Amino acid sequence: NAEEEADALIKLKKQENLSDQEVAKLIGKSRNYVTEILSISNLPESYIAECRSRGLTQKNFLIQAVQAFKRGTHQEFLDAFSEGEIRTVREAKDFNQNRTTQVRAHERSAKPANTETTIQRKGNQITILSTDSKTARRIETWLRKNIDQLDFQE
C-alpha cells in the first residue's frame, strides 16, 4: 500500500543518506514519483487515519490528498470524496486545480471587492444575488460554461 511504500522509501533515504533523485535512480522511478510518495509520509497521522476511514487509500488519491492538505482544503477534499463528488484521480486533480485557481485569482485582485454575492436554495430552486451586474454576468457565464460538467445521478 502507499503508506508502506512511503515508509520504506523514507527508511531507505535516511539509512543511506540519499537524495530523492538518488532514491529514484536506485528504484528505477522518476524523482517526481519518489517525491510524491514521500509526501504521503509527511501527512499528520490523524489525517491519514481519516483518509483510511473514508476509504481513501489508493496511492494516486493519497497524493492528491497531500496536495489538498498543502492548500488547506483537505477537509473539503475528504468531504467531496466521501460524497462521491470525487470518484476519479482526474476529478481529484481538478478539485485541487480549481481550488488553486480560485485562491490565486483572489490573491491577484488589487482592490478589495465591494460586491456581495449570496446564494440561496429553496427546494429545487437556487437564487444567486449580486450587488453588481458585472459580477452577476461573470457568475452566469461561468455557470453556463460549467453546468454540463456536473453529474446529476442520484
Q: What is the pLDDT of residues 66-98, one digit of tens each?
A: 999 998 889 999 999 998 889 999 999 988 887
pLDDT, one tens digit per residue, over 91-144 is 999 888 876 555 455 544 444 455 577 877 777 778 888 887 788 888 888 888
Do 97 and 135 sit in the same domain of this protein?
Answer: no
Cell, residue 45: 497521522
Do 132 and 62 sit in the same domain of this protein?
Answer: no
Do 66 and 120 sit in the same domain of this protein?
Answer: no
Domain range for 93 is: 2-113
pLDDT, one tens digit per residue, over 19-50 is 999 999 999 999 999 999 999 998 999 999 99
Do 123 and 93 sit in the same domain of this protein?
Answer: no
Do 128 and 103 sit in the same domain of this protein?
Answer: no
Do 54 and 119 sit in the same domain of this protein?
Answer: no
Q: What is the domain count for the chain? A: 2
pLDDT of 93 reads: 92
